Amino acid sequence: MTYFMSVILGFVQGVAEFLPISSSGHLTLFQHFFGMEEPDQLFNVLLHFATLLAVCVVYWRDIWEMIVEFFCFFGDLFSHRSYRGNPPEARRMVLLIIVGTLPLFLVLPIEDRVEAFGNNPLFVCVALLITGCILFLSDQMARGHKTARNATLLDVLIVGVAQGCATIPGLSRSGCTISAGMVRGFDRKFAVRYSFLMSLPAVLGATLLKVLDVMELEGGVPKENLPKYLLGMAVAAVVGYFSIQLVKLLADKGRFGFFAFYCWGAGALFILLNIMGWSFVPTASPM
């Protein structure tokens, strides 16, 4: 992998992770059509971790409040204090994120099979077309009013199931979870906020598991690739920050349908390129 490719994939990850167009699907297709024989799974996971840092920057206040309320909960528990009425919103948000993350544990036993779908560009393209349909339908949803104050455990469990389904390469995690939230009557701003905050434990867990696998199988991260990994992560984090701001704006205005047309166009284009056997191998020499 060249430094040029590292920058390109970092940019793709930063854009596609938050815009509802499937980062895993785009990374797979770009790696395939740029002549990379096998996707570098460790690099993919590190790019996801970099965009997680962008989430932490944008939602740092929410994250800090949830951390404080998490420890306050145990303090109240051991001191036998209880709230009269509703608990603080940040404390309830912690519960909603935990419940929404539970369906991912059902994916763990079949994780290798799900990742294997990413080796089939045609499958990824079809999944992109499905993502387009999901986004188009989400724009037809009436505006909801549920927030962290009144969203139910069933609501977030369904959003969590959508997140589990989105582990399939080509299905957008943000698109599936935000759309599922809208179907359950979430306020549009809350649907975006919950989707991104819910990604934190999922991405942290996936990063830890993948890094441990690499440490066990290869004895550590390949040192020759480390500078390229760090460059790609920096690009993904910066681009991801601005992508989050764009998604927040478009979701509130109900403009996800634009991304539907993009997913349909990209899916159809890559299917055509795959059928024709085209690939774009970079001419730059390795650095």
pLDDT tens across the length of the chain (287 residues)? 788 888 988 898 888 888 888 877 877 787 777 665 455 667 877 888 898 899 999 999 999 999 998 888 877 777 766 666 677 889 899 999 999 999 998 888 887 888 788 778 888 889 999 999 998 888 787 788 999 999 999 999 999 999 999 989 889 888 899 999 999 999 988 999 999 999 888 878 877 877 777 667 666 667 777 888 899 999 999 999 999 998 888 877 777 778 899 999 988 988 888 787 665 554 444 44
Cα gap 10→165, rounded to integer Å: 24
Query: 79-108 burial, b for 16+ CB within 10 Å, e for fewer?
Result: eeeeeeeebbebbbbbbbbebbbebbeebe
The whole-number pLDDT of residue 220 equals: 64
Query: 187-219 burial, b for 16+ CB within 10 Å, e for fewer?
Result: bbebbbbbbbbbbbebbeebbeebbeebeeeee
Query: 23-39 burial, b for 16+ CB within 10 Å, e for fewer?
Result: bbbbbbbbbbbbebeeb
The whole-number pLDDT of residue 84 equals: 60
How many helices (H) and strands (E) in the chain? 12, 0
The whole-number pLDDT of residue 4 equals: 85
Structure tokens at 253: 């205005």
The whole-number pLDDT of residue 284 equals: 43
Instruction: Tell me the whole-structure pTM to 2 decimals.
Output: 0.82
Residue 125: closest CA among 237, 273, 18:
273
